[in-house]
Structure 1
Amino acid sequence: MGLRRGLVALGAGAALLTALMGTAAWTATPAAAATREWTPTQADPAVREIQLSVPTSDGLVLPATLRVPADARPKMPGMVLVHGAGPGPREKYRAEAEAFARAGIATLAYDKRTAGYSLLERSYSRLADDAIAAADLLRGRPEVDPDAVGFWGFSEGGWVAPVAAERAPQAAFLVVVGANGVAPLRQQIWADTIKMEHAGVTGSLVETHARTPYRVLTAMGLFPEPYFDPGPALRSLTLPVLGIWGAQDRLTPPVESVTAYRAGLDEAGNSHYTLRTVEGAEHGLRTTTTGFDKGNTFAPGYVDLVTSWVADVAGGRPPATSVAGVGEQPRATAAVPPPFWYESAWVQVGAPAVLVLGFAGFGLTGAWRRLRGRPVLRSSWPAGVLAGAGLTTVVGTFAYLGYLQATAGRTVTPGPMLAGRPLVWLALQALAVVAVIAAIMVAVRWRAAAGSSGRTRVTVLLATGAVFVPWAAFWGLLVP
């Protein structure tokens, strides 16, 4: 009877989760290399493309595209485009490269490295070296003024490009777009929290989705560069700097980032920085209405601002320091302390393993005895409920959180909700409460377990339940 009730609980929970969830995956494919020059048929006819290769300091060769005006005159300013996060084919930045090239800036976009760069591994120092190698290549082109080559860094490139500019004494300027003034872990938690709140989610799931997994990944060494500090590079930059943010940026905290850039550059004694926040613009300076949607065109004034500013710097007229525009930041970021011991790999991998083995083992031992024709060990019905509800909760929680992570793009799709709580999450919380109540009942009835074998089996289940309670509390299942 206890096993049957547990299987019913397991089946009901699994059916509910299956009905309300889907899956998605993140994939990346590196681009192929080429070396030739041509006038493209589908690109802007006013822009000429030249295919090059960037040799890196560690022996890689990164395919690159140089774009210049079709009627290019020699000795124009040049700008290396430094990628944002994620897989990095250079075509991602065709729109920016062509827009800047039409205005007389030679742009070099290169494929981001795949060796040493992935979802779980990266080094901003190594990426900065790649950008410096690209600048060296650009500086040697006959179309480019070697004394007027700088960096343009977007998003993650806003951590990388300042390091490159700091290390490259030949750098003439730095442009950053959607750059962060806070560490990556702090920024990621802030951005995911904003997305959850925008989706209307309230309660414990906000932290469980937006904070807890990243802290665990950090403790496991699987969140790359979590505490990277952009401050040291900013505090050393005296070259002209242009920083641009969308007022409706929901991936980078625009208000705090402007403040951090201003403080760092002031400390460096920089007298030629320009910081602008653009209304009606999202993270990548495309048009937007909410910050979570993205238009097909750049925000008005963005391209003109970059090209005119670079032209002034290249012409020996770097603008004096100025700050203008106000961003919308729904909430402040929060400092993220180092992980605690219970967020470590051995706890966060070990505890679910114990729970799955303990809960599943309770039912499997009974089934195994049936198959072998041996007498079934009797147990109280709360034991079956604890095993079934506990196992469903553990498996379902990781499945649902995985679904949220895999499908989260600019917005989160949590599924049907009730009072700000997704129905899937409410079901998991209900199952967790049922499991806790069942564990208490099992503990009360422990002495009544028949025989030493039956008591041992129930004792193991009860110990599993004791591990389940703090685990469920940590993952927000026992919190409103």
Structure 2
Amino acid sequence: MARRFLTPALAAALAPFLVTVPVSAQPVAEASLTATECQIGAYRGPDGDFVALARSGGNPNAGLRYLFRDGRRGATGDVDAPVRCQGDTVRIGDAAGTKAAGTWARIAFRETPTTFDSAGSRLSGMLIEPPGSDPRRPLVVMVHGSERSSPIGGIYGYAMAAQGLAVFVYDKRGTGASEGEYTQNFELLANDAAAALKQARAMTPDRTGRTGFFGGSQGGWVAPLAATLTPADFVAVGFGLVASPIEEDREQMVAEVRAAGLGQEAEALVNRLSQATARLLLTNFSEGYDEIDSARALLANQPWVARIHGEHSGAMLRMSNDELRRIGRARFDNLELIWDYDAVSALRRLRTPLLWVLAGEDQEAPIETTRSALLGLRAEGRPVDLYLFPGTDHGMIEFTAGPDGSRRYTRITDGYLKLLGDWMKSEARGAYGRAEHLTAQ
């Protein structure tokens, strides 16, 4: 999540949210179902349900990516796709598993491109507004994860707008049509997000009510920080961390050890490795070599060591000290990450209501420290709403596990998208799929 080296399986599973991620190879249906007869956007059924469509890279015959409100997803070119494109409508077949099968009409969003300045760079954005005018309509700025793909024309923005929200998406600096150098410096990215909200407000002076941020994954570090730089009425975070990038790496390794059933001695060894690699990172690779040599010696004869990766420590362990001195900083520390970022301190400066949604079995962003920190903030009387979806991995994606522990990712969990939309509209109540509303430690 810090630098974000996703596993291939999880990267493919997150494809519905990314415009440029290639579509997995699928059998292609008839030519009438290709992207040439589909229009990106969102389509609404008679019962208020919706399906969002967005571009994807890869095989052009696969069509567009689709995402239903309940999290079912795929490509319009799949032979079993329940979505059939018909110009300004889509035909939802019985395979959709919905009572609203039939022809759904395209929602007439108003999409307004724009540019705005932040810290000396010109950034490119898009405002998406539902039909009609409502001065109470919430406005949300979508804050990036660590991806380099453009969210403009992406499925997540349309899925939020289909729920009655005005949505502002923008290319993060150094990506898409935005100027500047790509970075993962949370302070600079938060400045950009605050500038994006200012621009979105200026574009909707009489057409919106509550305004705020949504951040997914790495955006969970950036969105709350942005809300301390500009007035905001809410912050929502999905599958983010209340931990530093160094803590994220350590927790990933501990989770790997526990998943393999290796015991407390193995946990102690990976904690020692984390301390060594942290010192390398925090001293710009000038100190920590004795410590990592010691960790290597202790781990050398462990039969399980090849299974330990973390976010960066596993790779550092397998490099020589000469390599680390020569290219370590260029490889691991070239994106201006704040390695010891104090996420709890940033949240204590936040004065706005906060929604945080956890993926119960998140391998990329293990949740133990985050859950404990958020429940602690809630116990202090801070306005924190905390939900957990069991049986989900990073991205709120459900999966089935193979005998070897590998995961086959299936769908976004039911209730997640609706929870986000309802909460931003101050309408969250009742059950959301299998979500657990966490209220006490």
**Range class of TM-score, shorter chain:** 0.5 to 0.7
Do the aligned partners of 2:122 and 2:180 also contact (CA within 8 Å) in 1? no
| CA distance, structure 2, for counterparts of residue 166 and residue 280 of structure 1 | 33
Q: CA deviation at 1:87?
A: 1.1
Q: CA deviation at 1:129?
A: 0.6
| CA distance, structure 2, for counterparts of residue 295 and residue 208 of structure 1 | 21
**1:36-435 aligned within 5 A:** 41-44=39-42, 45-46=106-107, 48-71=109-132, 73-91=134-152, 94-114=154-174, 117-118=181-182, 121-142=183-204, 147-168=209-230, 170-191=231-252, 194=255, 202-207=303-308, 211-214=313-316, 217=328, 221-222=333-334, 224-267=337-380, 269-270=381-382, 272-290=383-401, 293=407, 295=409, 297-312=411-426, 324=437
Q: CA deviation at 1:179?
A: 1.1
Do the aligned partners of 1:280 and 1:287 also contact (CA within 8 Å) in 2? yes
Moved more, 283-292 or 150-159: 283-292
Q: CA deviation at 1:56?
A: 2.9
SS of aligned partner of 1:179: coil
| CA distance, structure 2, for counterparts of residue 69 and residue 297 of structure 1 | 26
Q: CA deviation at 1:150?
A: 0.4
Report the CA distance shift for 1:280/1:207 in structure 2 as closer, same or farther (over 3 A). closer
Aligned residues: 277
Residue deviations 1:369-402, cap 9 Å, x none? xxxxxxxxxxxxxxxxxxxxxxxxxxxxxxxxxx
| CA distance, structure 2, for counterparts of residue 306 and residue 78 of structure 1 | 13
SS of aligned partner of 2:228: helix
Q: What percent identity do the matched residue pairs reach?
A: 25
SS of aligned partner of 1:158: helix
Q: CA deviation at 1:205?
A: 2.7
Q: CA deviation at 1:53?
A: 2.7
C-alpha RMSD over aligned residues: 3.6
SS of aligned partner of 2:223: helix
Report the CA distance shift for 1:46/1:287 in structure 2 as closer, same or farther (over 3 A). farther
Do the aligned partners of 1:76 and 1:144 also contact (CA within 8 Å) in 2? no
Equivalent AA in structure 2 for residue 308 of structure 1: D
| CA distance, structure 1, for counterparts of residue 121 and residue 408 of structure 2 | 34
Report the CA distance shift for 1:295/1:72 in structure 2 as closer, same or farther (over 3 A). farther
Do the aligned partners of 1:243 and 1:275 also contact (CA within 8 Å) in 2? yes
Q: CA deviation at 1:100?
A: 1.5
Q: CA deviation at 1:226?
A: 1.4
Q: CA deviation at 1:146?
A: 5.1
Residue deviations 1:198-235, cap 9 Å, x none? 69995233457752545854698446221111011111
Do the aligned partners of 1:149 and 1:173 also contact (CA within 8 Å) in 2? yes
SS of aligned partner of 2:111: strand
Equivalent AA in structure 2 for residue 133 of structure 1: A
| CA distance, structure 2, for counterparts of residue 46 and residue 227 of structure 1 | 44
**1:455-466 aligned within 5 A:** none
Report the CA distance shift for 1:191/1:278 in structure 2 as closer, same or farther (over 3 A). same
| CA distance, structure 2, for counterparts of residue 195 and residue 72 of structure 1 | 50
Do the aligned partners of 2:136 and 2:209 also contact (CA within 8 Å) in 1? no
Moved more, 296-305 or 105-114: 296-305
SS of aligned partner of 1:256: helix
Higher helix share: 1
Report the CA distance shift for 1:258/1:100 in structure 2 as closer, same or farther (over 3 A). same
TM-score, L = length of structure 2:
0.55
Residue deviations 1:84-133, cap 9 Å, x none? 11314114x82222222111111111111116654xx5311110011011
| CA distance, structure 1, for counterparts of residue 366 and residue 172 of structure 2 | 25
Q: Which runs of 5+ in 2 are unaligned?
A: 1-18, 21-37, 43-105, 262-301, 318-323, 429-434
Higher strand share: 2
Report the CA distance shift for 1:250/1:207 in structure 2 as closer, same or farther (over 3 A). closer
| CA distance, structure 2, for counterparts of residue 143 and residue 294 of structure 1 | 45
Report the CA distance shift for 1:207/1:155 in structure 2 as closer, same or farther (over 3 A). same
Do the aligned partners of 1:68 and 1:102 also contact (CA within 8 Å) in 2? no
| CA distance, structure 2, for counterparts of residue 152 and residue 286 of structure 1 | 18
Do the aligned partners of 1:138 and 1:144 also contact (CA within 8 Å) in 2? no
Equivalent AA in structure 1 for residue 120 of structure 2: G
Do the aligned partners of 2:396 and 2:412 also contact (CA within 8 Å) in 1? yes
Report the CA distance shift for 1:212/1:299 in structure 2 as closer, same or farther (over 3 A). closer
Equivalent AA in structure 1 for residue 137 of structure 2: M
Residue deviations 1:18-72, cap 9 Å, x none? xxxxxxxxxxxx99xxxxxxxx923222151514234232232222222222345
Q: CA deviation at 1:238?
A: 2.7
Do the aligned partners of 1:65 and 1:109 also contact (CA within 8 Å) in 2? yes
| CA distance, structure 1, for counterparts of residue 194 and residue 372 of structure 2 | 27
| CA distance, structure 2, for counterparts of residue 306 and residue 162 of structure 1 | 16
TM-score, L = length of structure 1:
0.50
Q: CA deviation at 1:174?
A: 0.5
